[in-house]
Structures are given as structure tokens and as C-alpha cells.
């Protein structure tokens, strides 16, 4: 069983760039994005987060907002933590590697699939080439056997013709010799 908190496809929307970014370890553990301090024009400091409080599954396997049923209202971090810790039967789960974005996790999987496909293709190609080599050797042996048989018949026919010609010439010579 998988937990979303351990998945590399768990992401948060960056409020500035609108991109889906990696969910940091503290966000995963607390259910709340790490705030940073912003000073406004009047010199007052405010705590602000770079990320939307709603987490997203890059593969869209689970919709956390509809699962919580909060109708777009702010959710308490402990509730979000409980949602992320739930055991799920997810066919898209991949272990989270800190420092990798969800897109990079997807690229790792895609590269592995491509490498597996290439390896399988190479194995099948090697098997096909070996089959073709075996068929070629069998064909060559068959052709060599047929060529040897033709050569043998050529020798028999040539030898027979030569024998008949020599015998005929000998007989002819004997008649000529006898007639003188």
C-alpha cells in the first residue's frame, strides 16, 4: 500500500509561478507550507507562504480537495496530514527522492521505461538475428549439398561421354586399321 506523503508525485502549486513544485519534507510532515517573512511598504513583517495550501497529485490519481470536502475553504494542517498518511492502493506511486521535482520523478520513470523497452528490443533483435543466422546456415548447407550432388552428376555425365567418345574412337580406329 502507498502513502501520498511518501510519493514523489505529491506537489504543491507555487503561488508566484503557478508551477507544480516538490513538496518539502516539513510540508509533508506538518501539512502546512513553510512560511517566509515579507516586509510590506510600511515596515511591517508578515508571514507568507510561496505555496497554495492545497496539494496536488501530479498524476491526478487523487483529488485531495474533493476528498476532504472543504469546498475550497482553508483546511487544518492536521487533517491534511491525516489525508496524506492514509494507505492507498495507487498504481502511480513512486518513492519520493528529496530534491527532485514531480516532473523529474516522472522523467526518471519514463527513462527507466525507455531503457527497459530498449533492452527488451535488443534482446528480441538478438534472438531474431540468431534465428536468421541459423536459417542462413541451414540454407547454405542445403545449397552446398545440392551443389555437390550437381557436381557429382556433372562428373558422371562428363566421364560417361568421354568414355563413349574414347571407346567410339578406339573402335573406329580399329576398323580403319583392319581395313588397310
User: What does 33-56 look like in DSSP terms, one character per residue?
Assistant: PPEEEEE-TTS-EEEEESEEEEEE
Q: Is 72 left (phi over 0), alpha (psi -120 to 50) or beta?
A: left
Find out whether 9 and 92 touch, Cβ atoms under 8 Å: yes
3-state helix, strand, coil in the chain (%, to 5): 55, 15, 25
Domain ranges of the chain: 2-100, 103-180
How much is the pLDDT for 15? Answer: 80
How does pLDDT run along the chain (180 residues), one tens digit per residue? 888 889 999 988 888 888 888 888 888 888 777 665 555 566 665 556 677 767 888 998 888 777 766 555 566 777 778 888 888 888 889 899 998 989 999 999 999 999 999 999 999 999 999 999 999 999 999 999 999 999 999 999 999 999 999 999 999 999 888 876
How much is the pLDDT for 113? Answer: 95
How much is the pLDDT for 47? Answer: 53
Amino acid at each position: 500500500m502507498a502513502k501520498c506523503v511518501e510519493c514523489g508525485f505529491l506537489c504543491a502549486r507555487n503561488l508566484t509561478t503557478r508551477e507544480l513544485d516538490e513538496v518539502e519534507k516539513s510540508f509533508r510532515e506538518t501539512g502546512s507550507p513553510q512560511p517566509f517573512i515579507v516586509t510590506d511598504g510600511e515596515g511591517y513583517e508578515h508571514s507568507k507562504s510561496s505555496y497554495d495550501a492545497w496539494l496536488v497529485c501530479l498524476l491526478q490519481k487523487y483529488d485531495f480537495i474533493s476528498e476532504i470536502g472543504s469546498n475550497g475553504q482553508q483546511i487544518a494542517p492536521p487533517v491534511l496530514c491525516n489525508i496524506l498518511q492514509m494507505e492507498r492502493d495507487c498504481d502511480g506511486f513512486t518513492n519520493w527522492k528529496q530534491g527532485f521535482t514531480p516532473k523529474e520523478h516522472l522523467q526518471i520513470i519514463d527513462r527507466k521505461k525507455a531503457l527497459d523497452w530498449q533492452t527488451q528490443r535488443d534482446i528480441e533483435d538478438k534472438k531474431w538475428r540468431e534465428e536468421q543466422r541459423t536459417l542462413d546456415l541451414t540454407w547454405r548447407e542445403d545449397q552446398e549439398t545440392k551443389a555437390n550432388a550437381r557436381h557429382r552428376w556433372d562428373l558422371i555425365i562428363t566421364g560417361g561421354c568421354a568414355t563413349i567418345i574414347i571407346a567410339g574412337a578406339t573402335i573406329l580406329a580399329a576398323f580403319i586399321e583392319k581395313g588397310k
